Amino acid sequence: MSGRTSEYGGFLDRMLGRVRLGGWLAVAAPVIAVVFAVLITSVVLLAAGKDPVEAFTTLADYGTQPRSMALILNTGVMYYISALAVAVGFRMNLFNIGVDGQYRLAAVVAAGLGGAAVVPGVLNLVLVVVVAVLVGALWSAIAGLLRVYRGVSEVISTIMLNAIATGFGSWLVTEHLGVLTGNDLGTRPIPDDAHMPGIPLIAGSPVLVNGFIVVAVLLGIAYWVVLNRTRFGFELRATGKSESAAVASGVSVKKMIIVTMVMSGAVAGLIGMPELLGASYKYSNNFPAGLGFTGIAIALLGRNSPVGMAVGALLWSFLDNSSNQLQLLDISKEIVQIMQGVVVLSVIVAYELVHRYRLVAEQRRVSRELAAPQQAPKAEAAA
Amino acid sequence: MLMAAAACGGSDDTATTGASAGGSSAPASQVKVGLAYDIGGRGDGSFNDAAAAGLDKAVAELKVDKKELEATAGETDAQKEERLRLLASGGYNPVIAVGFAYSGAVAKVAKEFPDVKFAIVDDDAAKGDNITNLMFAEEQGSFLVGVAAALKTKKDNIGFVGGVDVPLIHKFEAGFEAGAKAVKPDIKIQTKYLTQPPDFSGFGDPAKGKTAAQGMYDAGADVVYQAAGGSGAGVFEAAKDANAMAIGVDSDQAALPAYADFKDVIITSMIKKVDVAVFDFLKKYIDGSVTSGPSVYDLKAGGVDYSTTGGKIDDITSKIDEYKQKIINGEITVPTS
């Protein structure tokens, strides 16, 4: 497998979407994945003595109501930004497992500053966002520097930095920023004039869509443009495909590693912002944790493509939000996690199958062409 | 509601839920209880299970219908609100939220459904005309087991293992420390929290509990009190290995089948009667006597206590009860942090 360094890449390249499929194959893979996931989930539901048709009807019914659509978008926005942060690293073979710690630490510091309201109104909102981006970038840069100057695998260092971020963030809240409300300890709430306004995007829904959806869409576009239309993006992708080839063509791999980690961390800093500036207005013990890991799953699901990840984020969010509806049918909420896991695996397996199918088809075509030369002279004579 | 109250006046245990479903009582009068758990849900062997026990008792004795929904790790307030809203709009009344994490969500959703009664366990920040706050004086119960630890230690060295470093668990620590120092002012108390928020794994990781407790026993402690939810099993395991003593939390853990292997090392437990609070609330709802605002379950109300299962502290119960009386009388005020 590893010897196959053609345009088909290795398994990892295919899994992370660094090799593209063309034509009808690009459609076949996701369709196979969805069918596969639905089948497996149905089997699990049947084994648990539940009616899969009823379950899927409930899900479809839930997903099409305006109110749920707004909620799905709101959770999906955070998932999407998280997936983008992870994907930036994935595209050049950097596994930033530390997105989780980066966004949480960014949110703590930004929330503390926002709650202190050192500047008024919209300026405060901008300050909170900028600080979050900076903190995320700096925290992630540590792993980049360790990789470049000490050869520490970023997988190990980012996992450790997650633990440190948890301790550091908790210390900040407990010792400096925290205010006790009942049994919950959190930062001072960010004043009303610095809240991100919601958008009445979905007709008939009393729930507004988080204003950060605009930021998420812009980030998705920027991700595509930077990777596909700039020299930096080319160098990033080249380094991801073959480090030695990139070095030979004059790319400074060290610089690329640091810049990519910083970018990934900067995007990670934004993950907590929709919640902080659009919903909770403070960082407390109740702030959502684990979004960085959700982002890894969604980046895999969406194969690092900006559109694929958007679909993945919405699917993931839809499943998460529908857990209450399923519980009303007495279906255990764990079925949601089973579905999410099966979907990711199905996508990986389906794409791998399609890639192999294409490989075999390509080999057949080449061998046919190699067999052709005997007839070639005749053809020429005829012409 | 009055019909339901009258129907269950006899409180006949032999009449099961099946009978009430097919019975002559009008279905419209049936009380449908919605309960939202914190992360871990039913089966966590701790705090959620205590709430579940109260609900089960109400189903059996008060013949209410129930619907339970569980939380997912890492969810947002919006998702918690949606859970409560779903119950309230689905005709569930009253709605009970288990855990302070629901504070903001209850405050918001209770306003949208003024005709539905809400109860929240462990939180007094959510206020409203239709919100009952079920509060516990964990520090008072912890004070008593602190007294027990100080009287039982031979090395004048005891330990406290907290699950997660949050204000709620600080109350357990503060009470325990005050109780131990009331008996022996110079006693050495080792303290360790397993995780820092937002990492809540400290409430469900026995391996972490075992390591922490082992460290304390190695450093000379001979009694360790745990307020660590599911991680507590690890503390008991360490106590067994070290041939030392441990103190349980929330339920009478020496009497729980799940901890049967460790019943010899659990000298007592600080009991926090979430089940009683949930059942009381439901009973009051059916009687039409629910009051909004805090219902405090302290030593006086019998909401917290210590257990004597196993007879390990029979020789000192009279002393512990002296302190208990002093707290009830108000002679001793137990600190909460």
pLDDT tens profile B123-147 = 999 999 999 999 999 999 999 999 9
Given this model, what pLDDT does residue A23 score?
A: 67
pLDDT greater than 50 at residue B28: no
SS3 B226: strand
State ipTM: 0.83
For residue range B237-250, list pLDDT tens digits in order: 999 999 999 999 99
If one counts every other C-beta atom within 10 angstroms of the C-beta of residue A261, the result is 31
Name the more confident of A371 and B20: A371
Least confident stretch, A22-31, A35-44, B178-187: A22-31
Given this model, what pLDDT does residue A332 score?
A: 87
Question: Would an 8 Å CB–CB cutoff place A71 in contact with chain B?
Answer: yes
Mean pLDDT of B103-108: 94
Given this model, what pLDDT does residue B26 score?
A: 36
> B69 pairs with which residues across the strands?
B36
Question: Would an 8 Å CB–CB cutoff place A331 in contact with chain B?
Answer: no
Cβ–Cβ of A183/B78 closer than 8 Å? no
Cβ–Cβ of A324/B74 closer than 8 Å? no
* B167 interaction partners in chain A (CB closer than 8 Å): 180, 183-185
Nearest CA in chain B to A290: B74
Question: Would an 8 Å CB–CB cutoff place A77 in contact with chain B?
Answer: no
Given this model, what pLDDT does residue A114 score?
A: 95
Most confident of A371-375, B157-161, B198-202: B157-161
* A174 interaction partners in chain B (CB closer than 8 Å): 165
Q: Return residue ranges of chain B for CATH 3.40.50.2300.
A: 2-136, 138-271+305-329
Question: Would an 8 Å CB–CB cutoff place A285 in contact with chain B?
Answer: yes
Most confident of A41-55, A216-230, A323-337: A216-230
Cβ–Cβ of A320/B123 closer than 8 Å? no
Residue type, position B274, single letter: V
For residue range A70-79, list pLDDT tens digits in order: 999 999 999 9
In total, chain B counts a number of residues equal to 337
Given this model, what pLDDT does residue B42 score?
A: 85
Mean pLDDT of B187-209: 92
Given this model, what pLDDT does residue B192 score?
A: 96
B265-294 burial string, b = 16+ CB within 10 Å, else e? bbbbbbbbbbbbbbbbbbbbbbeeebebee
Q: Architecture of domain B2-136 in CATH?
A: 3-Layer(aba) Sandwich (3.40)
Which of A162, A183, A185, A323 to mutate: most B Cβ within 10 Å? A183
For every residue of B258-285, DSSP letters joined together read: GGGGGTTTEEEEEEE-HHHHHHHHHHHH
* Shortest alpha-carbon distance between residue A161 and chain B (Å): 14
CA dihedral B236, B238, B244, B249 (to 10 degrees): -30
Could you tell me how many CB contacts below 8 A there are between chain A and chain B? 98
Cβ–Cβ of B103/A184 closer than 8 Å? yes
- Token couple for B241: 């290995």
Interfacial B residues in 235-274 facing A (CB < 8 Å): none
With beta carbons less than 8 A apart as the criterion, state whether A316 and A297 touch: yes
Given this model, what pLDDT does residue A4 score?
A: 43
pLDDT confidence tier of residue A355, bands split at 50, 70 and 90 = confident
H or E element at residue B324: helix B317-329
Given this model, what pLDDT does residue B251 score?
A: 87
Mean pLDDT of A198-225: 94
H or E element at residue B22: helix B17-22
Q: Residue B233's closest CA among B267, B203, B196?
A: B203
Mean pLDDT of A125-145: 97
Cβ–Cβ of B79/A279 closer than 8 Å? no
Question: Would an 8 Å CB–CB cutoff place A242 in contact with chain B?
Answer: no
H or E element at residue A178: strand A178-181
For residue range B279-324, list pLDDT tens digits in order: 999 999 999 999 999 999 999 999 999 999 999 999 999 999 999 9
Cβ–Cβ of A173/B72 closer than 8 Å? no
Average pLDDT, chain B: 89
Q: Which of B76, B123, B197 is opposite residue A182, by nearest beta carbon?
A: B123
Question: Would an 8 Å CB–CB cutoff place A334 in contact with chain B?
Answer: no
Strands A178-181 and A184-187, how do they pair? antiparallel
Nearest CA in chain B to A70: B78
Given this model, what pLDDT does residue B147 score?
A: 97
Domain B138-271+305-329, classified CATH 3.40.50.2300, yes or no: yes
- Token couple for B297: 């379950």
CA distances from A144 to A99, A203, A255, A271, A295 (A): 13, 45, 9, 20, 19
* B165 interaction partners in chain A (CB closer than 8 Å): 170, 174
If one counts every other C-beta atom within 10 angstroms of the C-beta of residue B257, the result is 6
CA distances from B332 to B172, B325, B337 (A): 16, 9, 15
Q: Which of A183, A280, A336 is opposite residue B168, by nearest beta carbon?
A: A183
* B75 interaction partners in chain A (CB closer than 8 Å): 288, 320
Cβ–Cβ of B69/A327 closer than 8 Å? yes
For residue range A183-205, list pLDDT tens digits in order: 889 999 999 999 999 999 988 88
| Strand intervals (E) in B156-265 | 157-164, 188-195, 223-227, 245-250
Question: Would an 8 Å CB–CB cutoff place A367 in contact with chain B?
Answer: no
Q: Which of A285, A320, A333 is opposite residue B198, by nearest beta carbon?
A: A285
pLDDT greater than 50 at residue B203: yes
Question: Would an 8 Å CB–CB cutoff place B91 in contact with chain A?
Answer: no
Cβ–Cβ of B198/A327 closer than 8 Å? no
Q: Which of B79, B125, B196 is opposite residue A184, by nearest beta carbon?
A: B125
What is the side-by-side order of every strand in the sheet holding B157-164?
B188-195, B157-164, B223-227, B245-250, B266-272, B304-306
H or E element at residue A186: strand A184-187
Q: Which of A166, A288, A321 is opposite residue B199, by nearest beta carbon?
A: A166
- DSSP category for residue A4: -
pLDDT greater than 60 at residue A379: no
Given this model, what pLDDT does residue A25 score?
A: 73
Given this model, what pLDDT does residue A7 score?
A: 52
Terminal C-alpha separation, chain B: 42
Which of B82, B112, B164 to mutate: most A Cβ within 10 Å? B82
For residue range B66-89, list pLDDT tens digits in order: 999 998 878 899 999 999 999 999
pLDDT confidence tier of residue B3, bands split at 50, 70 and 90 = very low
